[in-house]
Amino acid sequence: MQEKESATFNTSMLLQPSPFVQRKASSHECSASTGVASAVVQKRCGPNFIHLCKTMEHLKFTGIPGKWEMLKQKTASVEDFVNELTKKLEFFPKHLFNAKWQSKQFDQVHNNVPKRWTVLCSDFGENFNCHFQDEAQAAHWNYNQATIHPIVAYYRCLEENCNEITCESLVLISDDCKHDHHAVQHMMTLANKHLADKGVCSDVQVSFSDGSPTQYKNKVAFCDASHGKCKVQKHIFGSRHGKGPCDGEISVVKRCAANAVRGRRRIISNAEDLFSFGQDNLSLPKDDVEHVHSRRKFFFVKEGEIERNREHRMP
């Protein structure tokens, strides 16, 4: 990966993995060895702990991995504990390498967006529950929910003689709580139309998202990308790779809305109320003519607007 040194930035280097480092990570040579667990126990408990202590208590998540797990207290010999921990650490170096490498790639491309490129990062948040500060008892069992789906766009500033990167958060709120690839396509279409209307021209669009098989990582989603007006590169973050810019936008909307409700400054009873609150209080900049490089705009998608009968997009 080369750093940007001049205006002639080599775009062919974007999002290219290092085969040498990747090979080392895949063979578990880059970080940990089989003696890591033993070394950690000896460092924290003393060099003779493994030999002097016969059993030890520890906490362990048990259940069906990936489906359900619960934390339980276990008692085992120190040797068994170290062997099990060593086995669990076997794939951890590759996981860390992938997470750090993808984060580095994302930072590289969104901080150095070439001209006529756009970088998009999208994600569904957990639905917002429309609570009330002063509510009747029956209201506790019947909360309305709102879908929050931010799309964070990075592109070159549109002002003349300005070459800075603009970060614009497009926060789409809907009372349609079905999170599927049809909803993703509808919201991506709205985002692309907004960017095109304001003059953002793209020959290449780099799209980052998580790997949800019902939303971003399926044959219909890739078919939708192939029908775009520009070249689309889809990049999927791995599982448990930490938080991204979309998570920040989701937390801002939820926290500000919840604080407004608790402070009795706003009543948010449905998705449209949440949209109105965000549009009135969280939109950036406050003045549209202001020259800034951080923007936030809200969109509302009514239930029924999303087209889900798209047989022509079913390859």
Whether pLDDT at 151 is above 80: yes
Segment 108-118 shows an average pLDDT of: 94
Whether pLDDT at 109 is above 90: yes
The pLDDT value recorded for residue 64 is 84
The pLDDT value recorded for residue 50 is 62
Kindly indicate the confidence band of residue 90, based on its pLDDT and cuts at 50, 70 and 90.
confident
- Bridge partners (DSSP) of residue 172 are 149, 299
Kindly indicate the confidence band of residue 215, based on its pLDDT and cuts at 50, 70 and 90.
very high
- Bridge partners (DSSP) of residue 149 are 172
Segment 271-283 shows an average pLDDT of: 97
3-state DSSP assignment of residue 78: helix
The pLDDT value recorded for residue 294 is 95
Average pLDDT, the chain: 85
The pLDDT value recorded for residue 58 is 82
Own/partner contacts of 256-259, CB < 8 Å, gap of 24 or more, are 256/281, 256/282, 257/128, 258/131
The pLDDT value recorded for residue 10 is 36
pTM: 0.83
The pLDDT value recorded for residue 242 is 80
The pLDDT value recorded for residue 60 is 87
pLDDT tens digits for 35-69? 666 676 667 666 666 666 678 788 888 888 777 88
The pLDDT value recorded for residue 112 is 94
Kindly indicate the confidence band of residue 186, based on its pLDDT and cuts at 50, 70 and 90.
very high
The pLDDT value recorded for residue 24 is 53
The pLDDT value recorded for residue 95 is 85
Kindly indicate the confidence band of residue 1, based on its pLDDT and cuts at 50, 70 and 90.
very low
Query: Percentage of the chain surpassing pLDDT 90?
Result: 57
Lowest mean pLDDT among 125-129, 168-172, 229-233: 229-233
The pLDDT value recorded for residue 40 is 67
Whether pLDDT at 305 is above 50: yes
Higher pLDDT, 314 or 123: 123
Own/partner contacts of 193-200, CB < 8 Å, gap of 24 or more, are 194/170, 194/297, 194/299, 195/118, 195/153, 195/155, 195/168, 198/158, 199/158, 200/118, 200/153, 200/155, 200/158
Which residues are CB-contacts of 315 (< 8 A; sequence separation ≥ 6)?
Answer: 219, 220, 223
Whether pLDDT at 229 is above 90: no
Kindly indicate the confidence band of residue 310, based on its pLDDT and cuts at 50, 70 and 90.
confident
Higher pLDDT, 313 or 139: 139
pLDDT tens digits for 3-41? 433 333 333 334 555 443 454 544 444 444 456 666 766
